């Protein structure tokens, strides 16, 4: 499996100065899958710092990866996997060259089948909140092989359980972390999600 657990914490906008404290709060509440989006300040440094500090305790992904050049930066920073908002064959192939696992953003059945043919490790249905929660159940039947589905976009503590009835995992962003919030709030939100 690509992810350790059912919840991926998306820390969009986090800076290296804040990363360790917020990730500590996540780990203390059982969230070990963390995404640092590439549109965050000095994102590659955050990945390096988190990997150096926590090692294998954190399954660390680089998100919002939309070019092959960004894939190379992910590999150099030490990310464990890559998440994308869209399906781009060049990005998927670059991940393969760098030995990075993939959670690729898809939305339509055409994109889902194309991603499967490329051998991606997981499908990120984005934005998930715009589809019925049982979307994977409706589309998985025709797939030639099983691929984990991850719901991202509009997931929070109020609807997370509904999505996890049908999805293998959920990515949670603003309901868990917003730039500038104190680590204590991230810890409380993580506790509420996992409680």
Estimate to the nearest angstrom the gap between the alpha carbon of 41 and the chain centroid. Answer: 18
The Cα–Cα gap between 148 and 32 comes to 18
The Cα–Cα gap between 108 and 133 comes to 14
The Cα–Cα gap between 159 and 112 comes to 23
How far, CA to CA in Å, does 70 sit from each of 131, 147, 160?
29, 24, 30
Q: What's the chain's length in residues?
A: 195
List, by residue number, the catalytic residues.
35, 124
The Cα–Cα gap between 65 and 82 comes to 7
**Contact, 155 vs 147, CB < 8 A?**
no
Residue 144 token pair: 């030639």
Q: What phi and psi, each to the nearest 5 degrees, are found at residue 2?
A: -75, -40
The three-class DSSP label of residue 102 is: strand
């Amino acid at each position: 499996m690509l992810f350790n657990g059912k919840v991926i914490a998306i820390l969009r906008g986090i800076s290296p100065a804040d990363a360790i404290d917020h990730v500590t709060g996540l780990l203390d509440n059982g969230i070990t899958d963390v995404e640092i989006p590439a549109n965050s300040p000095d994102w590659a440094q955050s990945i390096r710092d988190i990997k150096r500090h926590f090692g294998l305790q954190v399954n660390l992904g680089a998100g919002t990866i939309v070019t092959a050049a960004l894939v190379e930066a992910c590999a150099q920073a030490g990310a464990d996997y890559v998440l994308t908002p869209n399906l781009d064959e060049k990005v998927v192939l670059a991940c393969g060259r760098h030995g990075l696992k993939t959670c690729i953003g898809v939305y339509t059945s055409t994109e889902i089948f194309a991603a499967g043919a490329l051998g991606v490790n997981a499908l990120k249905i984005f934005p998930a909140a715009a589809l019925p929660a049982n979307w994977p159940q409706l589309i998985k039947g025709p797939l030639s092989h099983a691929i984990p589905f991850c719901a991202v976009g509009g997931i929070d503590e109020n609807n997370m359980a509904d999505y996890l009835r049908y999805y293998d995992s959920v990515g949670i962003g603003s309901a868990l972390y917003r730039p500038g919030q104190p680590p204590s709030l991230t810890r409380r939100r993580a506790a509420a999600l996992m409680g």
